Every structure is written in C-alpha cells, then in structure tokens.
Amino acid sequence: MVRATFRFYEELNDFLPSERRQRAFDCECARAATAKHMIEALGVPHTEVELLLVNGESVGFGRLLADGDRVAVYPKFESLDISSLLKVRDQPLRRLRFIADVHLGGLARLLRMSGFDTLYDTHFDDQEIAETAARDGRIVLTRDRELLKRRLVDHGCYIRARKPAQQLRELFGRLDLAGSARPFSLCLHCNVPLRPIDREEARERLPSRIGCSYPRFMYCDSCRRLFWEGTHWRSMRALLAPLLEQLGGDPPP
C-alpha cells in the first residue's frame, strides 16, 4: 500500500475540509495513482495548481506516487518568479482566451469590454465547455470545481469572488491581465472585434435622440450595434482604470 504526505499551500486550502487545511496530512493512495489523480481526489482541481514538489523536486502531474512521498502543492504565485521550476504543464497558453460557464455572464461581459475573447452562452453544458476549451485552447472560468476536474480541461480558473466587478479584479490579479487588455475593442454581445467609425457614418446609425458630439464611435458588423463614448462607456472605463494602473498596463482610452 502507498501512503503519502500532502501539504497544500495558500488558497488551495479553500478546497480542503478544515482538518486538512494549512498542515501536512497522510493519505492512502490508490495503486499506481498519479499526483494529479490524488490531488483531485482530495478535492483540489488540477487547474488551480501551478507547482508540484515531490520530496522537494518539481514534478509533472503524471508522477506516480510512491510510499513515503511528501507532496507539496502550490497555487499560482502572484509575485514570485518560479517559471524555471514549473513543470506541471508542457505548454503555457500564449494567447489568453476564455470560456465562461453559465453563471458568469457578468464577468464574461466585463472581459469582452476589456478586450479578451470570451465565449459565453447560457446553453453551453459542462461537456461542451470542456470540449470547446480543449479545441480552442481557452481557459475555463467557473465556480464549479467539478468542471475543472474534467480530463479535457487543461487550463482553468476557479473564480472565488461572487460579484462580476470583483471577479474581474480577481482574474486580472491572478493572470496579470493588465498588460494584455484592449478595452472597448470587442462587442459585449457578440465577442467579435468592433470597427471604429467616423462621425459621418455614426450619424446615419445613431438613434435620433442621441447627439453626435461624442469623440469616438465603434460599430459591430455582426449585431449592427453602435457603441459611443457616453455614460455607459465612461462608467465602464472608471471600473477598468484602477485595474490597469495598479498592474502597470496602459490606461484605457
């Protein structure tokens, strides 16, 4: 029989029952269990794990556990550069694209507003989300840890916050999104690129009650919606500005 000792660090403890938090504990492992299998059996989705040490050595998820192994499991580090140690995934994602589960519609809109390609549809079920994420190389966003444990899901984020603005802040911090944000470049409804249009073209498309004095207009060729720099745009900009400044990205236009 294989017995290993586990210690989970930082917010990974949120997934454990209270008697296993912030301390080392012993656990019996199934025969030929991999580190990934055991971590998930203990309740922690593998997508939340960034670094895995077995007996002090950085290993991949596929490592078979042996009797007496000491397993230390770390989440994504916010500020410590550990890139040379990372071995759990072969390929980091280069381009950040997301797929949000049905409960994260508010976050999906805020991500699109920030310029991040984010699929969201209330009709997606968990299997479709997992398949689409695997096919397109998208990061799964969810508050459902079972979804993150699916075999097909390689990159995912368990969202802890409950309100969309806080969820956006959480994700920006966790994935360092500020540098890649392109505010007001995607349609909030269709997730496709917006096209800047001039005042003349906007004049033809604007509802008559709206003046034409706004400085910028963007148009969605898919849903034929026009976006202009009015009150709604400004309140969204106010929401984004602190995120971008705090994290060193460009201020929104």
The contact set with Zn ion (CB under 5 A) reads: 187, 189-190, 220, 222-223
Kindly state the smallest distance separating residue 233's Cβ from Zn ion, in Å.
15
CA–CA distances in Å: residue 234 to residues 112, 185, 208, 221, 250: 16, 15, 21, 23, 16
**Residue that is written with structure tokens 């994420």 in the block:** 133
Kindly state the smallest distance separating residue 223's Cβ from Zn ion, in Å.
3
Complex with Zn ion: residue 147 or 220, whichever CB lies closer: 220
Complex with Zn ion: residue 4 or 110, whichever CB lies closer: 110
Work out whether strand 156-158 and strand 70-75 pair parallel, antiparallel, or are unpaired: unpaired
SS3 98: strand
Complex with Zn ion: residue 166 or 222, whichever CB lies closer: 222
Alpha-carbon distance of 237 to 247, in angstroms, equals 15
Kindly state the smallest distance separating residue 192's Cβ from Zn ion, in Å.
6
**Residue that is written with structure tokens 């550990």 in the block:** 82
Beta-bridged to residue 230, according to DSSP, are none
Question: How many CB atoms within 10 Å of residue 221?
Answer: 12
Kindly state the smallest distance separating residue 112's Cβ from Zn ion, in Å.
10
Complex with Zn ion: residue 160 or 195, whichever CB lies closer: 195
